[in-house]
Chains A and B, each alone.
Chain A
Amino acid sequence: MNVFDKSLLALDAYLAQAKQEELQKILEDVGGVCYEGPNLEDFFTTIFQNKPLRFKFQNGVTYYADSKPPPVGFQLISQTPKETLESFFCNIALWKHQSQQYLN
């Protein structure tokens, strides 16, 4: 049996008998805090400020996006200075293909 199967079996055996209080205690013992950044929806609301966003590319095609959180690939575009956008064109094409509902 490999190390992964052994690990999952051991965890299953542990969880089968572990009490919720014990798990919560371990969670507290983990310590530290995890950084909680803005969520994706807040992020895009800030970026778009509830206004449609328009990109025009050298191929003459114009893309629009609204304030709804689009797929992750769009982050590349929305945070990228206009002069470098062309190098991300293939990401745009992919995004357009995957998310027609965000385009006018």
Chain B
Amino acid sequence: MKDYVGHHTCSDNGGKDFVLENAPFLSPIVDKHPLPFLGRGYYFWDYDIVQAKKWGADHYDSNYFILEGIIGTTVDNFLDLAGDRRHMEYFLNLAKRFVRQGMKAHEWKVAKLIEFLKQVNKSNPDVFPFEIIRAQDYNIFPDPQFRMAFRDNLGYTYLNPRYVFCLIIVNDVILSGKRIIFQSKK
């Protein structure tokens, strides 16, 4: 369907060859810790080296690599909560079904709903068949330099959104063309 370029930040532990061979690295679910944003998976920024560097500076004390890879989506494996309104409506409809069941799904975080659906999917394979999820990490302080007005100053579009990919599984079809494109200076 469509390929995207993703940027994955990881520790430089083990060196370049080890990282290239083994990355991306899993963001696991750790007991008593917050769930990763979109649940357990392998995380990439959607073509965003700036965010990947920020993440490295904040989380790896500036000792990090940025891995680039091609993320291959299809109509059947991709849930796009960033760029497809039909997908967003579908996702909300999933939550509404749990609310009708008497569960407080309207209070759940995104990751909780996704992880719940992944659990149900184990015994009901059509319920949540997705392997790739993309969502916008909404910034409440959008940088004005990336804002471009339409006809008046009340309406504008924003040209630097933060999109994050979560790959639920990784294989050669979903992720290809891995290469390290940046190494932080020590």
Q: Which residues of A contact B (CB under 8 A)?
A: 2-4, 6-15, 18, 20, 23, 26-27, 29-35, 75-76, 79-80, 87, 89-90, 93-94
Contact = CB atoms under 8 A, between A and B. Distances in A.
| Chain A at the B interface: SS class | helix
Nearest to A94: B154
A11 B154 contact: no
B153 interface: yes
B115 A30 contact: yes
A34 B35 contact: yes
Given A2-B75, A75-B140, 15 more contacts: A3-B129, A7-B129, A8-B93, A10-B124, A13-B124, A14-B120, A15-B97, A18-B101, A23-B98, A27-B116, A30-B29, A30-B115, A31-B35, A33-B35, A87-B144
Could you say which interface size class chain B belongs to? 35 or more
Interface in B24-45: 29-35
Interface of B: 29-35, 75-76, 86-87, 90, 93-94, 97-98, 101-103, 108-109, 111-112, 115-117, 119-120, 124-129, 140-141, 144, 153-154, 156
B34 A11 contact: no
B129 A11 contact: no
| Chain B at the A interface: SS class | loop
A10 B94 CA distance: 11
Nearest to A88: B144
B127 A10 contact: yes
Nearest to A86: B144
A20 B102 CA distance: 9
